[in-house]
Amino acid sequence: MCGALLEIKGVLKSKAVGFVFYQKHVFITGCDSGFGHLLARQLDGKGLHVVAACLTEKGAADLTAAASSRLKTLLLNVTDSGMSAGKVLVPPPFSAGLWGLVNNAGRSVPIGPTEWMKLEDFTKVLDVNLIGVIEVTLQFLPLLKKAQGRVVNVASVLGRLSLTGGGYCLSKWGVEAFSDSLRRDMHPFGIKVSIIEPGFFKTAVTRLDLIEADLRRLWTRLPQDVKDSYGETYFDDCEWNPDISKVTRCMEHALTARFPRTRYSAGWDAKLFWIPLSYLPSCVSDFVTNMFLPLPKNQRNV
């Protein structure tokens, strides 16, 4: 009885903001930790039916333990060829369609100076952050059209302003372009597409220890002449935003608002620094961003 009353209360509350959560279904990728994990719990608490895709069994178990019985998890690697996750939502009660798709799964490494990279370093990141987003979206479009639903793609401020080499910035620029074309293509079918552009937040994707360890891996395989040109002290640190709920609140708004925005910038650094910087002439943005990056030992002033 208490559960039923809580569910009714959730429905009435959602009507007050112009959106009925009851029987709405949302599919989220990358729910092991970070944005995806928090968003899944957040939407579950609002009364939505969440299907959360996790990469690991531990991630799925942790999320299941932290959510209601309404939330469902499944194991999914978005890079798997011939991914058939779309079939998960076809049987009842999902046959009415899919209200929301959140493409959140991502990876950052390998990331670093372009000269340190090999082609496979680029493809490792692009396969998850861009090709994975495209493939998941294509799988779910029929269900999204049926429900006239929402697509929420997680890009980054680095999809506006490239700071370093590797596939991360490339992939996020690609997510921006894919989302823009998808939004225009799907507008006649009633599907709304939103882009989330977080600043620098502390998540598993941005863990400094993992990034630094991978940079060290790239460093050790470089030819000695390249190492000499950069110098041993090239590595540097960054600062991160700890409050990831700033991002998930944007995601929730994109899924539940009557009039969702096309783009959401999350974090003070994104709103006040990185995105405004991206609109300035390249010579200005290059000068400013170079102030935040380590300089090679054998730099040349041109």
Mean pLDDT, the chain, whole residue set: 79
Tell me, what's the pLDDT at 21? 64
Question: Residue 71 in contact with residue 54, Cβ under 8 Å?
Answer: no
Q: Tens digit of pLDDT for each residue in 167-225? A: 889 999 999 999 999 999 999 999 999 999 987 644 454 455 565 666 666 657 667 77
Among the ranges given (117-121, 222-226, 294-298), the one the predictor scored with the smallest mean pLDDT: 294-298
Residue 93, preceding peptide bond in cis (omega within 30° of 0): yes
Tell me, what's the pLDDT at 161? 84
Beta strands (DSSP E) in 147-273 are 150-154, 165-166, 192-198, 263-266
Tell me, what's the pLDDT at 88? 52
Tell me, what's the pLDDT at 116? 83
The predicted model gives 221-249 an average pLDDT of 64
Residue predicted with more confidence, 14 or 156: 156
Is 22 a known active-site residue? no
Give the H or E element holding residue 74: strand 72-75
Distances (CA, A) of 148 to 182, 189, 278: 14, 7, 33
The rounded percent of the chain whose pLDDT value lies above 90 is: 44
Tell me, what's the pLDDT at 1? 46
Determine the Cα–Cα distance for residues 131 and 125; give it in Å rounded to an integer.
9
In a 13 Å sphere around the CA of 35, the CA atoms on its Cβ side amount to 32
Q: Tens digit of pLDDT for each residue in 243-282? A: 677 888 888 999 999 999 999 988 777 777 778 888 889 8
Q: Is the pLDDT of residue 143 over 80?
A: yes
Q: Is the pLDDT of residue 154 over 80?
A: yes
For residue 209, what are its two tokens? Answer: 């220890």
Residue predicted with more confidence, 1 or 66: 66
At the fourth CATH level, the homologous superfamily of domain 9-288 is: NAD(P)-binding Rossmann-like Domain (3.40.50.720)
Indicate which residue of 22, 168, 234, 279 is catalytic: 168
For residue 51, what are its two tokens? Answer: 């299907």
Tell me, what's the pLDDT at 83? 56
Tell me, what's the pLDDT at 3? 46
Total residues belonging to the chain: 302
Provide the Cα torsion 221, 224, 225, 226; round to 10°.
Answer: 30
- The β-bridge partners of 194 are 152
Q: Tens digit of pLDDT for each residue in 57-91? A: 999 999 999 999 999 999 999 987 555 554 554 44
Q: Is the pLDDT of residue 12 over 70?
A: no
Question: Residue 299 in contact with residue 230, Cβ under 8 Å?
Answer: no
In a 13 Å sphere around the CA of 142, the CA atoms on its Cβ side amount to 8
The predicted model scores a pTM of: 0.77
Q: Is 93 left (phi over 0), alpha (psi -120 to 50) or beta?
A: alpha
| Domain spans of the chain, in order of start | 9-288
Q: Could you tell me whether strands 111-112 and 165-166 are parallel, antiparallel, or unpaired per DSSP bridges?
A: antiparallel
Nearest residue to 174 via CA among 215, 134, 219, 140 = 134
| Phi, psi (deg, nearest 5) at residue 169 | -60, -40
Question: Residue 175 in contact with residue 129, Cβ under 8 Å?
Answer: yes
Among the ranges given (133-147, 258-272, 287-301), the one the predictor scored with the smallest mean pLDDT: 287-301
Tell me, what's the pLDDT at 226? 67
Q: Is the pLDDT of residue 113 over 90?
A: no
Tell me, what's the pLDDT at 130? 96
pLDDT tier for residue 101 given thresholds of 50, 70 and 90: very high
Tell me, what's the pLDDT at 301? 53
Tell me, what's the pLDDT at 99? 93
Question: Residue 152 in contact with residue 26, Cβ under 8 Å?
Answer: no
